[in-house]
Amino acid sequence: MCLAYKKGVNIACSHHSLGSMVPKNLKCWQCIEFSASHQVEQLTTELAAERSNTQKLENARMVMERQNKELKAKLAELEDQMKTRSKATIASLESKITNLEEQLEVEAR
């Protein structure tokens, strides 16, 4: 039976009307052409969908790369701020220790 006939498409071809006189695996040229056209149309649609999906994924990847770069820069900035604060805190505490040591010496005399 012809592929177009199986899919329920009414194509006027002689073997459809002949019924059992034609072997079931026989396909007329119209049916072969229809089948090929249908496959090309289906593959074209699938290709367009894949291209669209690929473009969406590529855009998402680019957004994520940009966000990653921004977050790395922010992290580096915060790490530098912490180093600066730590150094300032250490210097302040060292100054307090020095003052307390001096007070202790004064009181010990």
CB of 13 closer than 8 Å to CB of 28:
yes
Residue ranges per structural domain of the chain: 3-108
Contacts of 15 (CB under 8 A, 6+ apart): 2, 22, 26, 28
Q: What is the pLDDT of residues 52-68, one digit of tens each?
A: 999 999 999 999 999 99
Tokens of 37: 């056209």
Percent of the chain with pLDDT over 70: 72
pTM over 0.85: no
Determine the Cα–Cα distance for residues 43 and 45; give it in Å rounded to an integer: 5
| The pLDDT of residue 20 | 41
Q: What is the pLDDT of residues 15-63, one digit of tens each?
A: 555 444 444 555 666 667 777 888 899 999 999 999 999 999 999 999 9
